[in-house]
Amino acid sequence: MNLNGWQTYLVTQESISAGRSTQAIVEAAIAGGIDVVQLREKDTSAQQRYELGRELRSITAAHDIPLIVNDRVDIALAIDADGVHVGQSDLPVSVVREQLGTDALIGCSAATVDEATAAVDAGADYLGVGAVYGTTSKKVAGTKNGIGTDRVAKIVDAVDVPVIGIGGITADNAAAVIEAGATGVAVISEITAADDPTTATQTLAASITEVDHHV
């Protein structure tokens, strides 16, 4: 699987979807060209996440879109997801690798160069770096105002795996994250809270593809 093609990454959160189901948001995002979907839904029970995950696995598989599960290795295994994304306070990457095997995709959140290099050394396939900008939907200690694109660039320079920027990213500021060297951007509210998630996904993707990587 080519992770270097992950330009747009949707993290699900039904609580900000204006009453629409996560399934509907994911289908709309896929219609708009989303590259990867992460099942997050931290405010739901394990059973609810499992049931939702089974449905999302069916939807994403039909379109050949990777499905990543946030934190929960057990749910990822149960629904045959493509991988797991862990944070700094979750199971260590090395342990997740032992449980999921060599073929699974493992992402890890990082806000510093040290966190990033440690995650890659432990076997992370990609990094979720942020919060790049200030955000209300993803709380990261010490990043209330965002780590900024300069930090993203430093992390990109320090690792040899794809870096996905996350946190406060919109179609208006995504280009700066890509210009800093990130492979792509992950969003929650930019797509989920949009009046038209399909159009929002297309707009986000367009803002990234316009970036000249040779600048």
Active site residues: 40, 109, 138
Is position 109 annotated in a ligand binding site? yes
- Amino acid identity of residue 148, one-letter, is G
Cβ–Cβ under 8 Å, residues 111 and 140: yes
Q: Encoding tokens for residue 92?
A: 């260590």
Cα–Cα distance for residue pair 118/113, rounded to 1 Å = 8
Is position 168 annotated in a ligand binding site? yes
Cβ–Cβ under 8 Å, residues 208 and 184: yes
Measured distance between the N- and C-terminal CA atoms of the chain, rounded to whole angstroms: 27
Is position 70 annotated in a ligand binding site? yes
Is position 184 annotated in a ligand binding site? no
Is position 139 annotated in a ligand binding site? no
C-alpha radius of gyration, the chain, whole number = 16
Residues in the chain, overall count: 215
Is position 183 annotated in a ligand binding site? no
Is position 154 annotated in a ligand binding site? no
Is position 39 annotated in a ligand binding site? yes
Is position 90 annotated in a ligand binding site? yes
- Secondary structure (DSSP) of 113-155: HHHHHHHHHTT-SEEEEE-SS--SSS--TT-TT--HHHHHHHH
Inter-CA distances, 56 with 21, 80, 161, Å: 11, 11, 26
Is position 203 annotated in a ligand binding site? no
Q: From the annotation, which residues make up the binding site?
A: 38-42, 70-71, 90, 109, 135-138, 168, 188-189
Binding site membership for Mg(2+): which residues?
71, 90
